[in-house]
Amino acid sequence: MALIVHKYGGTSMGSTERIANVAKRVAKWARAGHQMVVVPSAMSGETNRLLGLAKELAPARQDASYLRELDMLASTGEQVSVGLLAIALQAEGVPAVSYAGWQVPIKTSNAYTKARIDSIDDRKVRADLAAGKVVIITGFQGVDAGGNVTTLGRGGSDTSAVAVAAALKADECLIYTDVDGVYTTDPRVVPEARRLQTVSFEEMLEMASLGSKVLQIRSVEFAGKYKVPMRVLSSFTPWDIDINEEAKSGTLITFEEDEQMEQAVVSGIAFNRDEAKISVLGVPDTPGIAFQILGAVADANIEVDVIIQNLSKDGKTDFSFTVHRNDYARAMDLLKEKVLPALGAAEVVGDTRICKVSIVGIGMRSHVGVASKMFRVLAEEGINIQMISTSEIKTSVVIDEKYMELAVRALHRAFGLDQASA
Amino acid sequence: MALIVHKYGGTSMGSTERIANVAKRVAKWARAGHQMVVVPSAMSGETNRLLGLAKELAPARQDASYLRELDMLASTGEQVSVGLLAIALQAEGVPAVSYAGWQVPIKTSNAYTKARIDSIDDRKVRADLAAGKVVIITGFQGVDAGGNVTTLGRGGSDTSAVAVAAALKADECLIYTDVDGVYTTDPRVVPEARRLQTVSFEEMLEMASLGSKVLQIRSVEFAGKYKVPMRVLSSFTPWDIDINEEAKSGTLITFEEDEQMEQAVVSGIAFNRDEAKISVLGVPDTPGIAFQILGAVADANIEVDVIIQNLSKDGKTDFSFTVHRNDYARAMDLLKEKVLPALGAAEVVGDTRICKVSIVGIGMRSHVGVASKMFRVLAEEGINIQMISTSEIKTSVVIDEKYMELAVRALHRAFGLDQASA
- Chain A CA closest to residue B14: A53
The answer, for B51 touching chain A at a CB cutoff of 8 Å, is no
Q: Could you count the other beta carbons within 10 Å of the beta carbon of residue A23?
A: 27
Same domain for B387 and B352, yes or no, is yes
pLDDT, position B210: 64
pLDDT at B67 over 60: yes
Same domain for A161 and A308, yes or no, is no
pLDDT, position B258: 56
**How many distinct structural domains can be found in chain B?**
2
pLDDT, position A105: 97
State the Cα–Cα distance between residues B16 and A422, nearest whole angstrom. 57
Kindly state whether residue A375 falls inside one of the protein's structural domains: yes
pLDDT, position B261: 47
Same domain for B411 and B354, yes or no, is yes
Q: If you average pLDDT over residues B87-115, what whole number do you get?
A: 97
Kindly state whether residue B125 falls inside one of the protein's structural domains: yes
How near does any CA of chain A get to the CA of B216, in Å?
Answer: 26
pLDDT, position A262: 46
Instruction: Look up the ipTM and state it.
Output: 0.82
**Cβ–Cβ gap B69/A80 under 8 Å:** no
Range of the domain at A95: 3-179+214-257
Same domain for A278 and A403, yes or no, is yes
Q: Using N-to-C axis directions, what is the helix angle for A64-74 and A76-91, rounded to 10°?
A: 20
Q: For residue B69, what pLDDT band results from cuts at 50, 70 and 90?
A: very high
pLDDT, position B40: 97
> In a structure prediction context, what are the per-residue pLDDT tens digits for chain A, which is 422 residues long?
899 999 999 999 999 999 999 999 999 999 999 999 999 999 999 999 999 999 999 999 999 999 999 999 999 999 999 999 999 999 999 999 999 999 999 999 999 999 999 999 999 999 999 999 999 999 999 999 999 999 998 778 999 999 999 999 999 999 998 888 888 988 888 999 999 999 888 888 888 766 666 787 788 888 888 899 999 999 989 999 999 999 999 999 988 655 454 456 888 999 988 899 999 888 887 777 778 888 888 888 888 888 887 777 788 888 889 999 999 999 999 999 888 888 876 789 999 999 999 999 887 877 778 888 999 999 999 999 888 888 888 899 999 999 999 999 999 999 999 875 44
pLDDT, position B298: 85
Using a CB-CB cut-off of 8 Å, the residues of chain B touching A97 are 65, 68-69
- Chain B CA closest to residue A92: B58
* Paired strand residues for A74: none
* Paired strand residues for B79: none
pLDDT, position B99: 98
pLDDT, position A8: 97
**Cβ–Cβ gap A65/B100 under 8 Å:** no
State the Cα–Cα distance between residues B279 and B277, nearest whole angstrom. 7
Please choose, from the candidates A278, A377, A252, A261, the residue with its C-alpha nearest in 3D space to the C-alpha of residue A336. Answer: A278
Please choose, from the candidates A152, A159, A146, A148, the residue with its C-alpha nearest in 3D space to the C-alpha of residue A66. Answer: A148
Chain mean position to CA B266: 20
Kindly state whether residue B105 falls inside one of the protein's structural domains: yes
Higher pLDDT, A422 or B135: B135
The answer, for B68 touching chain A at a CB cutoff of 8 Å, is yes
Kindly state whether residue B198 falls inside one of the protein's structural domains: no
The answer, for A72 touching chain B at a CB cutoff of 8 Å, is yes
The answer, for A309 touching chain B at a CB cutoff of 8 Å, is no
Same domain for A249 and A311, yes or no, is no
Say if residues A310 and A340 touch (Cβ distance below 8 Å): no
The answer, for A86 touching chain B at a CB cutoff of 8 Å, is yes
pTM to 2 decimal places: 0.83
**Cβ–Cβ gap B66/A87 under 8 Å:** yes
Q: For residue B59, what pLDDT band results from cuts at 50, 70 and 90?
A: very high
Handedness of CA A51, A57, A63, A67 (dihedral sign): negative
The answer, for A371 touching chain B at a CB cutoff of 8 Å, is no
The C-alpha angle B366, B368, B369, rounded to 5 degrees, equals 150
The residue out of A257, A286, A313 marking a domain boundary is A257
Using a CB-CB cut-off of 8 Å, the residues of chain B touching A144 are none
Q: If you average pLDDT over residues B290-305, what whole number do you get?
A: 85
Q: For residue B24, what pLDDT band results from cuts at 50, 70 and 90?
A: very high
* A262 residue type, one letter: E
pLDDT, position B318: 85
**Cβ–Cβ gap B82/A103 under 8 Å:** no
pLDDT, position B422: 44
Same domain for B377 and B396, yes or no, is yes
Task: State residue B362 phi and psi, 5-degree precision.
Answer: -65, -25
Query: B44: domain CATH number?
Result: 3.40.1160.10
Kindly state whether residue B167 falls inside one of the protein's structural domains: yes
Kindly state whether residue A235 falls inside one of the protein's structural domains: yes
**Cβ–Cβ gap A69/B86 under 8 Å:** yes
Q: For residue B188, what pLDDT band results from cuts at 50, 70 and 90?
A: confident
pLDDT, position A422: 44
- Chain A CA closest to residue B74: A80
Using a CB-CB cut-off of 8 Å, the residues of chain A touching B90 are 58, 61, 65-66, 69
- Which one of B58, B80, B103 has the shortest CB-CB distance to A73? B80
- Which one of A65, A79, A80 has the shortest CB-CB distance to B90? A65
Using a CB-CB cut-off of 8 Å, the residues of chain A touching B86 are 69, 72
Say if residues A26 and A84 touch (Cβ distance below 8 Å): no
How near does any CA of chain A get to the CA of B108, in Å?
Answer: 16
pLDDT, position A1: 83
Task: Give the count of Cβ contacts less than 8 A between chain A and B.
Answer: 117
Q: If you average pLDDT over residues B88-101, what whole number do you get?
A: 98
Q: What letter does residue B338 receive in the DSSP assignment?
A: I
**Cβ–Cβ gap A66/B87 under 8 Å:** yes
Q: In sequence order, which residues have a C-beta less than 8 Å from that of residue B11 and are 6 or more positions away?
A: B18, B44, B178, B235
Q: In sequence order, which residues have a C-beta less than 8 Å from that of residue A388 and are 6 or more positions away?
A: A308, A395, A396, A397, A398
The residue out of A257, A287, A315 marking a domain boundary is A257
The answer, for A67 touching chain B at a CB cutoff of 8 Å, is no
**Cβ–Cβ gap A57/B84 under 8 Å:** yes
For B194-225, what is each residue's pLDDT tens digit?
999 999 888 888 887 666 667 777 888 888 88
pLDDT at B70 over 90: yes
The residue out of A235, A257, A279 marking a domain boundary is A257
pLDDT, position A263: 59
Same domain for B222 and B96, yes or no, is yes
How near does any CA of chain B get to the CA of A311, in Å?
Answer: 51
How near does any CA of chain A get to the CA of B88, in Å?
Answer: 6
Same domain for B279 and B224, yes or no, is no
Q: Could you count the other beta carbons within 10 Å of the beta carbon of residue B344?
A: 9
Same domain for B233 and B270, yes or no, is no
Same domain for A88 and A64, yes or no, is yes
* A296 residue type, one letter: A
- Which one of A58, A59, A72 has the shortest CB-CB distance to B79? A72
**Cβ–Cβ gap A95/B69 under 8 Å:** no
The answer, for B84 touching chain A at a CB cutoff of 8 Å, is yes
**Cβ–Cβ gap B87/A54 under 8 Å:** yes
- Which one of A20, A73, A90 has the shortest CB-CB distance to B83? A73
Determine how β-strand A134-137 pairs with β-strand A96-99: parallel
Same domain for B136 and B226, yes or no, is yes
Q: Could you count the other beta carbons within 10 Å of the beta carbon of residue B389?
A: 16
Same domain for B142 and B290, yes or no, is no
Higher pLDDT, B280 or B95: B95
**Cβ–Cβ gap B91/A57 under 8 Å:** yes
Kindly state whether residue A416 falls inside one of the protein's structural domains: yes
Q: What average pLDDT does chain B have?
A: 90
The C-alpha angle A340, A341, A345, rounded to 5 degrees, equals 50
pLDDT at B51 over 90: yes
Kindly state whether residue A195 falls inside one of the protein's structural domains: no
pLDDT at B359 over 70: yes
Say if residues B21 and B239 touch (Cβ distance below 8 Å): yes
Query: A396: domain CATH number?
Result: 3.30.2130.10
* B399 residue type, one letter: I
How near does any CA of chain B get to the CA of A69, in Å?
Answer: 5
